[in-house]
Amino acid sequence: MLPRNQRAVPNGFNQELLSLQRTSSYNPLHVGTAIVGGFLALWLVSTTVLAHEPEKRHEPPAFQLLRAEEDYSYLKDRDSHLYETDAFDVMKYIPLNQQGDIYLTLGGGFRSRMEYFSNREWEADGDESFYSQRLSLHSSVWLAPNIRVFGELYHGYTSHEKEFTQFDELDWHQGFVELKLPLQPTEYASFRFGRQEMTFGATRLIGVREGPNIRRTFDASRAIYKIGENSVQAFYGREVHPNFFVFDNDFVLFDFNDTSSELWGLYSQFSIDGDIGNTELYYLGFQSDLSRFKDVVGAEIRHTIGLRRFGAIGQSWHYNTELIYQFGELAGQDIRAYNIETDWHYVLIHTRWQPSIGLKFELTSGDNRAGDDRVNSFNPMFVNPAYYSLAATITPVNIISIHPSLTLHPTKKLIVYIEGAMFWRESRNDGLYRPPRFSARDGNGSRKRKIGDQLGMKLQYAISRHWSFDLDFSYFIAGGFLEETGEAENILHLAPTLNFKF
């Protein structure tokens, strides 16, 4: 194992798990049937109990993927809110003034995981297993009704010497100031400045890298306007590369000598009266001092325009469709790339198990020809590295894929998700890439399109509101392209994970 002072962050190193939302029904107390007859006193007692039966209360709001978005202001009035009492309520609303509009919220989490790989990266000697853990603590302080300071500390540890995004002794993962201006009861404008997590849409392009210990953050400035369910955001930021020691992740927003990738854009979400579903329309700008696709290496400025449609049709159909087009320049060559994805799910029977089937199709462009002064390779930018599986074997560049799936809810606390996936190269003249956008295998003249097939399964069990257990399994069967271009062993990945949040 390398000494920690010799660990090096790879240049340009940059990763979304499926988030679990639960509802819980409250079973009211059953009072025995009033006794008919001469027991008048007992009848009066029974009716009195019924008259004063407490109002039904619901489970507190689920923990958010972005913890900074949680709101516990309902605890200001502990007697009249509609949620059940939680053991950590005392930490969620700590009033700092008599009026209670200046208050402190504390929270955090712990994640423990074992991972096992057989033939990692399709190599015969790629068997390995390792342990990782993540500890996070955050605080949110409302200094005034409209001013908030949010801070979050991260500690990450791994027994693996090369998992660069798994290890960081202690650092500021987030730290931003927010000015929130209420305009109408359902309308507000918000301004955030500092280190912060950002995720948009289906995390096709910008995700928090939930798989590894150290999630992705940006040193950024962001403006948000929201009215009802409609919103628009404008932002500019630089990706933060985690270092390994205590408080050594520098603030890079104004450091123009830093090599971190830059991100800016405009992201909107809205619905139209009479229209089924929701729409997202966005523009994203990306700049990197050093990018590599196919045989092109150099500085990159890439512009992305996207349209996403998602929602539900009735009680059974759920859909997500996204169209993305990219243009710009890489090392003096024009960029012309695209991505098309559609994902449909149908609930077969509305019973306790709620079985649903799904089918996802994705087409992501690869480079057409070498030496034509044009780059057609799609750039997934800051995609969740676990986009195809927690094994993080491949990423959406030069990919055609089909994903049939089955989702089951055997109990209220257990979700079983089973997915098959078939992968082909979109272009025979481009290779295979690994997260976030690094070359994993050159084409080497191979005319084979088939990359391989993957079977995956994920079990999510909610032990309680605070504790959960996940089990991820995937098995990748190498196809003809891998067999022609190098080692092509099948990959097995297994990852049990225990989570605690408060």
- CA dist 238 and 245 (Å) reads 20
Q: For 334-364, how does the pLDDT look when each residue is reduced to its tens digit (9 = 90+)?
A: 999 999 999 999 999 988 899 999 999 999 9
| Burial label, 184 (beta-carbon count in 10 A; 0-12, 13-18, 19+) | exposed
Structure confidence by residue, pLDDT tens digits, 288-328: 999 999 889 999 999 999 999 999 999 999 999 999 999 99
Indicate whether 93 belongs to any domain.
no
CA distances to 51, 235, 378 from 216, rounded to whole Å, are 53, 16, 21
Does residue 419 lie in a domain region? yes
In CATH, what number is assigned to the domain containing residue 466?
A: 2.40.160.100
Query: How many domains does the chain fold into?
Result: 1
pLDDT given at position 79: 79
Strands (DSSP E) along 271-332, which ranges? 278-293, 296-313, 317-330
- 261: number of CA atoms within 13 Å, CB side? 27
Q: Which two tokens stand for residue 374?
A: 């044009």
* Structural domain includes residue 293: yes
In a domain, 253, yes or no: yes
Tell the residue number behind the tokens 């400045």, with chain if given: 193
pTM attached to this predicted model:
0.85
pLDDT at 33: 32
pLDDT of 55? 61
* Residue 233 · residue 161 · CB < 8 Å: no
Domain contains 30? no
For 98, 271, 282, 490, the CA distances from 322, given in Å and listed in that order, are 49, 16, 11, 31
The pLDDT tens digits of the residues spanning 433-443 come to: 999 888 899 88
pLDDT of residue 443: 82
In a domain, 211, yes or no: yes
pLDDT at 471: 98
CB-based contacts of 306, cutoff 8 Å, min separation 6: 201, 204, 205, 280, 281, 282, 283, 284, 322, 323, 324, 325
The pLDDT, as a whole number, for residue 23 is: 33
**Domain range spanning residue 369?**
4-21+104-501
DSSP string, 117-169: EESGGG-TT--EEEEEEEEEEEEEEEEETTEEEEEEEEEEEES-TT-GGG-EE
What average pLDDT does the chain have?
88
Report yes or no on 26 lying in a domain: no
Q: How many residues does the chain have?
A: 502
Give the chain's largest Cα–Cα span.
99
Pairwise CA distance, residues 115 & 392, whole Å: 12
Q: Rounded CA gap, 179 and 182, in Å?
A: 10
Going from the C-alpha of 382 to that of each of 200, 281, 360, 432, the distances in angstroms are: 11, 18, 21, 17
Q: Identify whether 387 is part of a domain.
A: yes
Backbone dihedral angles phi then psi of residue 376, each to the nearest 5 degrees: -105, 0
Q: How far apart are CA 436 and CA 113, in angstroms?
A: 21
Say whether 46 sits in a helix, a strand or coil. helix
Q: Phi first, then psi: what are they for 183, rounded to 5°? A: -105, -45
Q: Which residues of the chain have pLDDT under 70?
A: 1-55
